[in-house]
Amino acid sequence: MILSTFFVLVFLKMEERRLSYHLVKIQSEEKKLLEDKKAKSVRLAKALRPQNLEKLAQNKLTFKKLESHQIIYLSGTEFETQADIDQEYVVQK
């Protein structure tokens, strides 16, 4: 009886130690994943800066900067260009 109790205690201590090692491993993995998440969010924030988006659009997507005559303003159902708006402004003056 005493011997079996001793074996149970030893087994429980070994199991406790095994679980504690497993817990330490999981905690270090969690820490690494949180650091990766933080690094990726910083990279995303840098990538979404307006100047970086503009560079990306021009270099990789071959977009060009708009000129004022290329902008179309939507007011109601009419399509107006910047030139039309400028002309209306001159006429109204």
DSSP-H helix ranges across 1-93:
2-47, 50-59, 82-92
Predicted confidence band of residue 60 (pLDDT cuts 50, 70, 90): confident
pLDDT of the residue at 63: 83
3-35 pLDDT, tens digit per residue, is 899 899 999 999 999 999 999 999 999 999 999
* Sequence-ordered strand ranges (E) for the chain: 72-75, 78-81
Q: pTM score, two decimals?
A: 0.52
pLDDT of the residue at 93: 46
